[in-house]
A and B are shown apart, each in its own frame.
Chain A
Amino acid sequence: MKTIDLFEETSLALLANKARSSLTILGIVIGIGSVTAMIAIGQGAKNNIGSSIQSLGSNLVLVSPGMQRTPGAQVSQRRGSAQTLTKEDADAISQKLSLVKAVAPDLSSRYQVTAKGTNSNTSVVGTTADYPTIRNITMADGNFITDQNVRSLSKIAVLGPTARDDLFGVDSNPIGQSIRIKNIDFKIVGVATAKGGNGFSNQDDMIFVPISTAQQFLAGNDRVSTISVQAIDQASMTQMQQDITDLLLSRHNITNSALADFSTMNQTDIIATASSVTNTFTALLGSVAAISLLVGGIGIMNMMLTTVKERTREIGLRKAIGAKKRDISRQFLIEAIMLTFLGGIFGVILGWLIALIIRQFASIAATVSLSSVILAFGVSAAIGIIFGYYPARSASRLNPIEALRYE
């Protein structure tokens, strides 16, 4: 029997029972559709987190005061309230370490900020002129804080776009106006460009002031809450992180690194931690979806067994006119594979639609990748083979005489 004839026989058989075929396919459509969608959502969430971490800046090591953290510890753990880092630590890192490209200390805290009758609870970041380079911040209007501003404790501020929207209205130009933080007036000199970052830290809802001003007038001490250090390249990250640790340990007179009063974290660690969370999440969603796929597969097997039973006489006839065992088993196997493959096609379409909807409404960059499409087809064909094998084999083993007599 030729392959093309096999396919013709199969399609005619499936078309003869359109309603049943489509209902059976539906099980696979839902299964493949949900697996595809879940993978897309998981990937999307991972990419989102990845890009929002990347938007912090590149080749970045963050030094925070407080307990040493190990990779795998919670990313969202609150920055140490211990105040063990100083601007001098930041200067030392900048001057003494050769792998360092730029350093920006910051002192961040939330304050109630007011401007002309509006007010907002916003993160106020005291920092230096290098901060925009390190943290990938660009200016929409005006200028960022300069070294001169830091030296002279200028009472100036740069607004993040969200902070600007909240205080002065969407897309307004507040340069030259002032805001009030802790009863001190700050003159606005610039507005940063929106990063559109979503996820765990919104970098648009911030107000930047010179670090010296923040220490002197807002915090009332000379500590810093983070030192952002940028390496000269990605390859130097690990070494630079080690160098920072060694330098700060010696500056703080600590010999046992387990007792360090600061912690360093590089982007790779953060991404790895976040990825492991999203991977677990994806695996969990995926396995729930896989169960529905399994149920779909059982549906296929059930339909195929019914079909074989109903068509017993037909099988007997086919054998009487010369069909061999393998002609019969192939016919029914291909029927099952065709069902699951069709289910796979519609399932991928369904998954893609779900991903599209999620992208529209949940702002997760869910995308159906080529590899997950290939996977979906592979899996659906495999399900056809696995769940079609037994019915096909029992069809091929029917005795033609008994099959012809079957009522």
Chain B
Amino acid sequence: MIECRQITKIYQSGAGDTAALKDVSFDIKDGEFVAIIGPSGSGKSTLMHILGALDTPTSGQYFLDGRDVSKLSDDELADIRKNKIGFVFQSFNLLPRATVLRNVMLPLVYADVPKEQREAQAKVALKNAGLDGSHFHHLSNQLSGGQMQRVAIARALVNNPSLILADEPTGNLDTKTGEIVLETFRRLNQEHNHTIILITHEHDVAEHADRIIHIRDGHIIADAKNGKRHEIIDKI
């Protein structure tokens, strides 16, 4: 359960202050599949960093599962990320010289999951992400882009987070493999009830979600579910 209350993020730099998010408020319920869409520079990544507990807002509150995470210390944020969040990045960010299994087990190392359980848990996550066992012992840099992204999804899933955050997950993939990855998200949402937030600037990507939040210049300008989301897509 996500509740954002009047979140504002201001970046201070030599050139002056940039307000990347201005008074943003919205809720996301458990099990929702949401796309956040907007043009480049609209504040999508900034929002994802706050939702993913990588950063804190300048003002406003962010409740994740009832806990206000907007004013936590670095170490407390790390604990939130460890236990509640799974990230999928545009550029995969796998450890190149490590096997697929090791990459997926990495979050479990930091979460102090007993060694004996890790491999089993990682294998389940990999299966759920749509990767079959023949790849488990390959080095991650020997895989195709689509396979890499599914390994990354498995890594995001492995510790059963409350929230999976994907920032432009298809940005480095061709349309066809992108489609497979998006199907994976959909299946994870439908079959395993994972809460998924997808960040993108492409409306065909956003269309895969049940709900679309449209953001521009740091404001939410539209937020629609299911049937009505076409109204947003049509406007873009």
Interface residues of B, CB < 8 Å — how many? Answer: 26
Does the CB pair B79–A322 fall under 8 Å?
yes
Does the CB pair A5–B109 fall under 8 Å?
yes
Stretch at the interface among A24-32, A240-248, A311-319, A365-373: A311-319
Residues of B within 8 A of A318 (CB): 106, 110
Stretch at the interface among A44-52, A173-181, A292-300, A323-331: A323-331
Determine the distance from Cα of A153 to Cα of B83 in the docked complex, in whole angstroms. Answer: 103
A235 sits at the interface (CB 8 A): no
**What does the 1/0 interface line of A311-353 toward B look like (CB < 8 Å)?**
0011011111111110100000000000000000000000000
Residues of A within 8 A of B89 (CB): 404
**What does the 1/0 interface line of B72-107 toward A look like (CB < 8 Å)?**
001100110111000101000101011000100011
Apart from the given pairs A12-B98, A321-B110, A325-B74, 8 other A-B contacts in the complex at a CB distance below 8 Å:
A16-B97, A313-B93, A314-B93, A314-B95, A317-B93, A319-B54, A321-B87, A401-B54
Residues of B within 8 A of A313 (CB): 93
Does the CB pair B81–A320 fall under 8 Å?
yes
Determine the distance from Cα of A324 to Cα of B54 in the docked complex, in whole angstroms. Answer: 12
Given A316-B93, A400-B54, A401-B49, answer yes or no on A322-B75 (Cβ-Cβ < 8 Å): no
Does the CB pair B110–A401 fall under 8 Å?
no
Does the CB pair B109–A9 fall under 8 Å?
yes
- Measured CB to CB, the residues of B under 8 A from A are 49, 52, 54-55, 74-75, 78-79, 81-83, 87, 89, 93, 95, 97-98, 102, 106-107, 109-112, 115, 155
Given A327-B110, A400-B54, answer yes or no on A321-B81 (Cβ-Cβ < 8 Å): yes
| Minimal Cβ-Cβ distance residue in A for B89 | A404
Given A12-B98, A400-B54, answer yes or no on A320-B111 (Cβ-Cβ < 8 Å): no
| Minimal Cβ-Cβ distance residue in B for A400 | B54
Q: How far is the CB of A328 from chain B (nearest CB, A)?
A: 10
Interface residues of A, CB < 8 Å — how many? Answer: 23
Does the CB pair A321–B74 fall under 8 Å?
no
Does the CB pair B75–A321 fall under 8 Å?
no
Residues of A within 8 A of B55 (CB): 401
| Minimal Cβ-Cβ distance residue in B for A15 | B97
Given A16-B97, A401-B55, answer yes or no on A321-B155 (Cβ-Cβ < 8 Å): yes
Q: How far is the CB of B107 from chain A (nearest CB, A)?
A: 4
User: Which of A317, A319, A320, A323 has the most chain B CB atoms closer than 10 A to its own CB?
Assistant: A320
**What does the 1/0 interface line of A1-21 toward B look like (CB < 8 Å)?**
110110001001000100000
Determine the distance from Cα of A294 to Cα of B21 in the docked complex, in whole angstroms. Answer: 51
Residues of B within 8 A of A321 (CB): 81-82, 87, 106-107, 110, 155
Q: How far is the CB of A12 from chain B (nearest CB, A)?
A: 7
**What does the 1/0 interface line of A231-253 toward B look like (CB < 8 Å)?**
00000000000000000000000
Does the CB pair B75–A1 fall under 8 Å?
no
Q: How far is the CB of A395 from chain B (nearest CB, A)?
A: 14
Q: How far is the CB of B90 from chain A (nearest CB, A)?
A: 10
Does the CB pair B83–A322 fall under 8 Å?
yes
| Minimal Cβ-Cβ distance residue in B for A6 | B109
Does the CB pair B110–A320 fall under 8 Å?
no
Determine the distance from Cα of A327 to Cα of B74 in the docked complex, in whole angstroms. Answer: 13
Does the CB pair A324–B75 fall under 8 Å?
yes
- Give me 29 A-to-B residue pairs in the complex whose CB atoms sit less than 8 angstroms apart, sorted by A's number: A1-B109, A1-B112, A2-B109, A4-B115, A9-B109, A12-B97, A313-B93, A314-B95, A316-B93, A318-B106, A318-B110, A319-B54, A319-B81, A320-B81, A320-B93, A321-B81, A321-B107, A322-B79, A322-B81, A322-B107, A322-B110, A323-B110, A324-B74, A325-B75, A325-B78, A327-B110, A400-B54, A401-B54, A404-B89
Residues of A within 8 A of B78 (CB): 319, 322-325
User: Which of A9, A314, A318, A400 has the most chain B CB atoms closer than 10 A to its own CB?
Assistant: A400
Determine the distance from Cα of A322 to Cα of B81 in the docked complex, in whole angstroms. Answer: 5
Residues of A within 8 A of B54 (CB): 319-320, 400-401
Determine the distance from Cα of A256 to Cα of B106 in the docked complex, in whole angstroms. Answer: 86
Determine the distance from Cα of A194 to Cα of B78 in the docked complex, in whole angstroms. Answer: 76
| Minimal Cβ-Cβ distance residue in A for B155 | A321
| 8 closest A-B pairs by CB | A322-B82, A321-B107, A322-B110, A16-B97, A317-B93, A324-B78, A322-B81, A5-B109
Residues of A within 8 A of B155 (CB): 321
| Minimal Cβ-Cβ distance residue in A for B107 | A321
Q: How far is the CB of A11 from chain B (nearest CB, A)?
A: 12
Determine the distance from Cα of A325 to Cα of B78 in the docked complex, in whole angstroms. Answer: 9
Determine the distance from Cα of A264 to Cα of B81 in the docked complex, in whole angstroms. Answer: 81
| Minimal Cβ-Cβ distance residue in A for B55 | A401
| Minimal Cβ-Cβ distance residue in A for B106 | A321
Residues of B within 8 A of A16 (CB): 97
Determine the distance from Cα of A320 to Cα of B102 in the docked complex, in whole angstroms. Answer: 16
Determine the distance from Cα of A357 to Cα of B109 in the docked complex, in whole angstroms. Answer: 47
Determine the distance from Cα of A4 to Cα of B78 in the docked complex, in whole angstroms. Answer: 21
Q: How far is the CB of B74 from chain A (nearest CB, A)?
A: 6
| Minimal Cβ-Cβ distance residue in A for B52 | A320
Determine the distance from Cα of A313 to Cα of B93 in the docked complex, in whole angstroms. Answer: 7
Residues of B within 8 A of A323 (CB): 78, 110
Determine the distance from Cα of A1 to Cα of B155 in the docked complex, in whole angstroms. Answer: 17
Q: How far is the CB of B169 from chain A (nearest CB, A)?
A: 14
Determine the distance from Cα of A268 to Cα of B97 in the docked complex, in whole angstroms. Answer: 64
Determine the distance from Cα of A143 to Cα of B97 in the docked complex, in whole angstroms. Answer: 80
Determine the distance from Cα of A241 to Cα of B66 in the docked complex, in whole angstroms. Answer: 91
Residues of B within 8 A of A12 (CB): 97-98, 102
Determine the distance from Cα of A316 to Cα of B55 in the docked complex, in whole angstroms. Answer: 13
